[in-house]
A and B are shown apart, each in its own frame.
Chain A
Amino acid sequence: MKPAPFAYHAPDSLDEALALLEAHGEDAQILAGGQSLMPMLALRMAAPACLIDINRIASLRRLEETDEALRVGACVRHAELLRHAASVPHWSLVAACLREVAHPGIRNRGTPCGSIALADPAAEAPALAVALDASIHLASRRGERRIAVGDFFLGIYETAREADEMIVAVSFPRPGADWRFGFEEIARRRGDYALAGLCAGLKVVDGRIEQARLVFFGVGDRPMRADEAEAILCGGDPADAQLRARAAEAAMARIEVSGSAEYGVAYKRHLAGVLTGRVLARLAEAGGA
């Protein structure tokens, strides 16, 4: 057995899980899909004293769509959300993004909420949440709160979640028909963590861009919005190639980058520019990609 010893709890109710979390705090880890946590345990990069397995809590398995939003419970798997999103045109970005999450066997078990809770800067789900302006639902014994995704990611593996809180759901507000979305990532092999990726959304009204969201992953220490590039796009025509080129240049020059030993800052910047150019070109036509 590779993980260090731990105490294991598999509560049937959220109340029990939250009581355990309150009692154990930093010593506890929530186990949802476990597709990141289990390798970390096996490699002993994590050695929590106690695991709280939330897979037996039926209420966390719910995937609910209303006219306003899609609410994804903490135990909804990537594959379930992908199946739902692939069947509905307004969730095209969710589908495009989740198709690139690891491999089928991992998507069958791993969860978008877990990926958001972990906050790996190279993962797709956190950037997807930012691009769709999602809300994160957190619960603790002190009560529930809803936090805007823009305030949630603080750095590598660092979020606004308190030690006694857990994510119970994430909700994606349904985008209007005037939004078009695009997605692309660059990885060395299919299913690998991206070297860089982009989730993009443009709200286009009467041929003018009213709002733009360009969210990079694998580039900075958290999902990064390219503020300058977004500002350049607003008010412009998505079919204007010069405008798109200026936006790509701004994304390349101004995005906040954390380089690694393997991939330097200049290369990440280059990728940010390339991705912006490619995705915006596809969004020039209504419908997007």
Chain B
Amino acid sequence: MADPGEDESFRDITVRVNGESVRARIPVRLSLVDWLRDHLGLTGSHVGCEHGVCGACTVVVDGTCLRGCLMLAVQADGASVETIEGATQSGRLRALQEAFYARAALQCGFCTPGMLLTAAEFLEGGEAPDRDAIREALSGNYCRCTGYEAIVDAVAAAAHSRER
């Protein structure tokens, strides 16, 4: 954390993180994802581009996926945040995670938390999960390893297993 200079301003926040209430005093310019990672140790949310392009920092705030780098931690005061750790523990991502594993839809794994959370939101949204729609839903999440084909396969497989 940067040395708090005299022009640094701080705020107290209370945030529900993966079901647990967390109170903290934080600099107002700290991003949500930096707070989750550096202060709470929830390093499953990854920091890639830090300006909203790559999607690696995707977290769920009050039920919707968003960029953890494009929201300030102070803005999450009073909100409910779910990270990849919480979504994994709750079992919400089980079908997707199994499908990613079965289809080898990851190599380095850097994009995977964001892919999983975004894919879960898409599948829960009820839109018909054809391949074009899956690609569109994941268009804001970059993967530099797989070429996406395996990821789309895995999401399609998870959609299929949900239907059964």
Q: Which A residues touch B34, using CB under 8 A?
A: 1
Contact B5 A2 (CB under 8 A): no
Q: Is A135 an interface residue (CB 8 A)?
A: no
Encode B44-79 as 1/0 by CB contact (under 8 A) with A: 000000111001001000001111011110110100
CB < 8 Å neighbour of A190 from B1, B5, B51, B136:
B136
B1-14 interface code vs A (CB 8 A; 1 in, 0 out): 11001011101000
Assembled-state Cα–Cα distance A14/B159 (Å): 44
Instruction: Identify the closest chain A residue to B140 (Cβ).
Output: A103
Check if A105 sits within 8 Å of B5, measured CB to CB. no
- B68-118 contacts to A (CB < 8 Å): 69-72, 74-75, 77, 118
Q: Which residues of B contact A4 (CB under 8 A)?
A: 29
Q: Knowing A55-B75, A109-B70, A109-B71 touch, does A2 contact B50 (C-beta < 8 A)?
A: yes
A79 at the interface (CB under 8 A from B): yes
Interface string of A77-97 (1 = CB under 8 A from B): 001000000000000000000
CA distance A8 to B5 in the complex (A): 16
| Given A5-B7, A7-B9, A53-B75, residue A102 in contact with residue B140 (CB < 8 A) | yes
Please encode chain B, from 106 to 139, with 1 for each CB lying within 8 Å of some chain A CB and 0 for all others.
0000000000001001100000000000011101
Closest to B65 in A: A105
Q: Write the chain A residue with the least CB distance to B122.
A: A104
**Closest partner residue, chain A, to B125 (CB atom):** A104
Query: Knowing A1-B27, A3-B29, A6-B28 touch, does A42 contact B50 (C-beta < 8 A)?
Result: yes
Specify which chain B residues have a CB less than 8 angstroms from the CB of A109 in the assembled complex: 64, 66-67, 70-71
Q: How far is the CA of A141 from the CA of B74 in the complex (A)?
A: 27
User: Of all chain B residues, which has the CB nearest A42?
Assistant: B51
> Counting chain B CB atoms within 10 Å of each CB, which of A5, A7, A38, A105 scores highest?
A105
> In this complex, what residue of B is CB-closest to A109?
B66
With A79-B64, A190-B139, A191-B140 given, is the CB distance from A106 to B52 under 8 Å? yes
A55 to B72, CA, bound (A): 12
Complex CA–CA separation, A190 to B66 (angstroms): 18
Q: Does B42 contact A (CB under 8 A)?
A: no
Which residue of chain A has the shortest Cβ distance to B4 in the bound complex? A5
**Which one of A38, A102, A103, A109 has the highest number of Cβ atoms from chain B below 10 Å of its Cβ?**
A103
B51–A39 contact, CB under 8 A?
yes
The verdict on A34 contacting B51 (CB below 8 Å), with A5-B8, A6-B28 known, is no
Query: Does A39 contact B70, Cβ atoms closer than 8 Å?
Result: yes
Point out the residue from A1, A38, A104 that lies within 8 Å of B2, measured CB to CB. A1
Interface presence of A19 (CB below 8 A): no
A35 and B70 form a contact (CB under 8 A): yes
Q: Which residue of chain A is the closest to B2 with respect to CB atoms?
A: A1
Does B74 contact A191, Cβ atoms closer than 8 Å?
Answer: no
Separation in Å of the A109 CB from the closest CB of chain B? 5
Chain B, residues 145-161, CB within 8 Å of chain A (1/0): the string is 00000000000000000
What's the Cα separation between A61 and B55 when bound, in Å? 25
Q: A6-B28, A38-B69, A39-B70 are in contact. Are A105 and B75 (CB under 8 A)?
A: no
Q: Residues of B contacting A13 with CB < 8 Å?
A: none
Chain B positions 24-38 with a Cβ under 8 Å from a chain A Cβ:
27-31, 34
CA distance A55 to B50 in the complex (A): 22
Q: In chain A, what residue has the closest Cβ to B50?
A: A42
B70 touches A8 (CB 8 A): no
A-B contact pairs, 11 of them (CB 8 A): A1-B30, A10-B77, A34-B72, A38-B71, A39-B52, A42-B31, A43-B51, A79-B64, A105-B66, A109-B64, A109-B67
Q: Rank and list the top 3 A-B pairs by shortest CB-CB distance, nearest first.
A: A103-B140, A39-B51, A8-B28
Interface on B for A, CB 8 Å cutoff? 1-2, 5, 7-9, 11, 27-31, 34, 50-52, 55, 58, 64-67, 69-72, 74-75, 77, 118, 121-122, 135-137, 139-141
